[in-house]
Chains A and B, each alone.
Chain A
Amino acid sequence: MAGVQHLLMVARVRSGRLEPAEIVTASTEVLAAEQGEAASLLFAALRDYPAGDVAANVLEILQELAHRSASWARVVEKSLEKRGRCPPPLRAQLKRLLAEDRATPVGPKESLGDVITSDVFSEFEVERASGAVSPSETAPFERSRSMLGRFRGRVPVSRELTDINGMGRLAAVLAALEDCDEITLDFQGVEHVYVSGLTAIKAWSETHGVKVLCVNTSPETDAYLDVVGFSGYKPARSHLRSPDFLTPGLENVLKSEAQDVADRLVTLIEHHCPLGAETRSGLLIMFAELVENIHRHAGESTTAAFACAQVYPKRKKLTVCIVDTGMGLAQSIASGSNRELASRLQRGESALALAKAPLLTSKPDRHSGYGLYVATELILRNGGTFRLISGNESLTLYRKNWRRHESFAPVDRGWQGTWITMIIDLESVLPIKDVYLTLPSLEDSEKEDFFG
């Protein structure tokens, strides 16, 4: 058990039996393993460590942490400040490290990815911190009927409508416009949009045969629309399209094998942002499992399924959207051959909670069902954010101050199919080894060692 090992490290620190260099290694290991409680105890132990060079070691840890993630450095800063044991030289060093991070230049205008990132992630933090995430809130839109009897829609697009927070609102708008022959997306006043919303609109328009017109677009929006590939849309000013931050187009999930989609996405990401071996494996496994879920569970009626990724190289962030317009998780469970699962759904259990739990699958066997569980565990341990909308439910997962947050919310006129958006911290590892080593097994399974 990693937790026990870390508590033993704490004990060794307290007894003075750990060399200063080992403290640094232990601290970073504890943090990397996301052992929040153990990390807290370790820092408490460091406070009491008798050696004179503790401050220097803590500084070393902080430098390492600040290098990996400013948010970690802030956690340590708060921890030490709370205990009133932050020596002045250390405080000065912390201030400098954090100021450097805050002052990280967002780059010139042509570096669209960084400009967008600085907006989206700060806003996202505010929204989820305030608890103001409300996927059921419907955004404004117009629906009218032409003289020929055709329905038309007009949606004033805001930046927020296309990001991870806007998923529920956008789903509700699109559901209300399903019978339209044509919708106009009005980007008036919008400079930046995000791949998640546009990818979903693309899947929705293909499924329902709705023509999409885009008006009042900025050059940046043109670039995104071009990349996402709206049929018949000819961007007039796509000069900002750059391989530095966008995948060159949508991955049509239905036309490729899961491993090929995963491989192409990861290769593209790696081209823009170097990945460690474990993070690379984590991404491959996550993408492959989620795409294979679409192949196996979305149903034959699925007409559109796309994956799109955006890398923010300077902020070390990655956004991934995987969306389909299939039967959705609830119907997949209800129509699956696992009757126990179907009856739990009938009794009112959340389809998303059932789908996320390990070892639950709509198939009759009890051996499988790790795909969504592994993906969410990877994101949580990475410090990223995971949001899933399917049917009339949304699930949001993230970690803050060492705690896991999981919230389910209703979505008015929800998403027909499954729509996942993930934000991944590329400064932190996607710890696939840890996730595998802690995978739960069936309660009644024996623990035979087949390698013995």
Chain B
Amino acid sequence: MSSGTDVVVFRVADHGALLVTRDQGAVVRGELLRVLREHGADTVEVHLDGVDTYTPSFMDELLGKTLVEIGRDAFRDRVRLVAARNEVQKLANLVLNNRLASLRGPAAKKR
């Protein structure tokens, strides 16, 4: 994480309590990317708590595609994920790692 930068908080819950579709994920991703652009080198803390229900589709659309768009290093450098619930952490890590594997190449096997 970069040092000497401000932290901008991005609360996913501000976009709804029921976030389940890819379309919804795309809208929230657009907002997240806008915040990332507007705040230059600052760290953006993405708070995933406060949302009742996530789906893998939404999470992939929001986080997975953000990682693809800005790249792994920039994602790790500028995005800090925050979630208290284990299953939310698992879901977020899952879609991000799947995206990383996908970026590495299509030849790998699927489970």
Which residues of A approach B to under 8 Å, CB–CB?
257-259, 262-263, 277, 280-281, 284-285, 288-289, 292, 296, 358-360, 365-368, 370-371, 374, 432-433, 436-437, 439-451
A360-B110 CB under 8 A given contacts A259-B20, A436-B90, A441-B98: yes
**Nearest chain A residue, comparing its CB with the CB of B82:** A451
Determine whether the beta carbon of B111 is less than 8 Å from that of A440: yes
Partner of A446, one of B60, B91, B100: B100
Residues in chain A near residue B94, CB distance under 8 A: 439, 441
**Nearest chain B residue, comparing its CB with the CB of A360:** B110
Residues of chain B in range 74-90 having any CB-CB distance to chain A below 8 Å: 75-76, 79, 81-83, 85-87, 89-90
A451-B100 CB under 8 A given contacts A285-B53, A433-B87, A441-B94: no
- The B interface, classified by DSSP as helix, strand, loop or mixed, is helix
Knowing that A288-B20, A451-B93 touch, tell me 16 more A-B residue pairs with CB under 8 angstroms: A259-B18, A281-B53, A285-B54, A285-B55, A292-B22, A359-B98, A366-B101, A436-B87, A436-B90, A437-B90, A441-B94, A446-B100, A448-B100, A450-B79, A450-B92, A450-B93
Docked CA distance A422–B23 (Å): 26
**Nearest chain A residue, comparing its CB with the CB of B64:** A367
Determine whether the beta carbon of A439 is less than 8 Å from that of B23: no
Docked CA distance A277–B90 (Å): 19
Q: How many A-B residue pairs have CB under 8 A?
A: 128
Residues in chain A near residue B56, CB distance under 8 A: 368, 370-371, 374, 439
Nearest CB on A from B88, distance (A): 8
Residues in chain A near residue B14, CB distance under 8 A: none
Q: Is B109 interfacial (CB 8 A cutoff)?
A: yes
Determine whether the beta carbon of B86 is less than 8 Å from that of A367: no
Determine whether the beta carbon of B81 is less than 8 Å from that of A296: no
Closest 8 CB pairs of A and B: A444-B108, A288-B20, A445-B101, A436-B87, A370-B56, A445-B97, A367-B98, A442-B101
